[in-house]
Amino acid sequence: MDEVSVDHREHHPGLSVLLTVEEAAELLRLGRTTTFELVMRGDIQSVKIGRRRLVIRDGLDRYVAELLASQFVD
């Protein structure tokens, strides 16, 4: 299993490490449903805490980086 760094204070001071799907959707400028589908497919990294599904902030950066990389492969 890949090691995941959880100390984001140096990269994002004052920002939450975990986001709601709605907050992630807003940052990505996508709809809530589309973002939730990406999360459930595993395209965007998330965790489940109780009944809540929360997006890992760095997972958004990874998702965007993968999108960019895939556009240069074709």
The model carries a pTM of 0.75
Kindly report the average pLDDT of the chain as a whole number. 86
pLDDT band, very low/low/confident/very high, at 1 (cuts 50, 70, 90): very low
Predicted confidence at residue 14, as pLDDT, reads 61
How far apart CA 15 and CA 61 sit, in angstroms, is 14
Residue 20 has pLDDT above 60, yes or no: yes
* Over residues 51-68, mean pLDDT: 95
Residue 64 has pLDDT above 90, yes or no: yes
pLDDT band, very low/low/confident/very high, at 15 (cuts 50, 70, 90): confident
How far apart CA 58 and CA 36 sit, in angstroms, is 16
Which residues are CB-contacts of 1 (< 8 A; sequence separation ≥ 6)?
Answer: none
Return the DSSP state at 55: E
Sign of the CA dihedral running 19, 21, 26, 30: positive
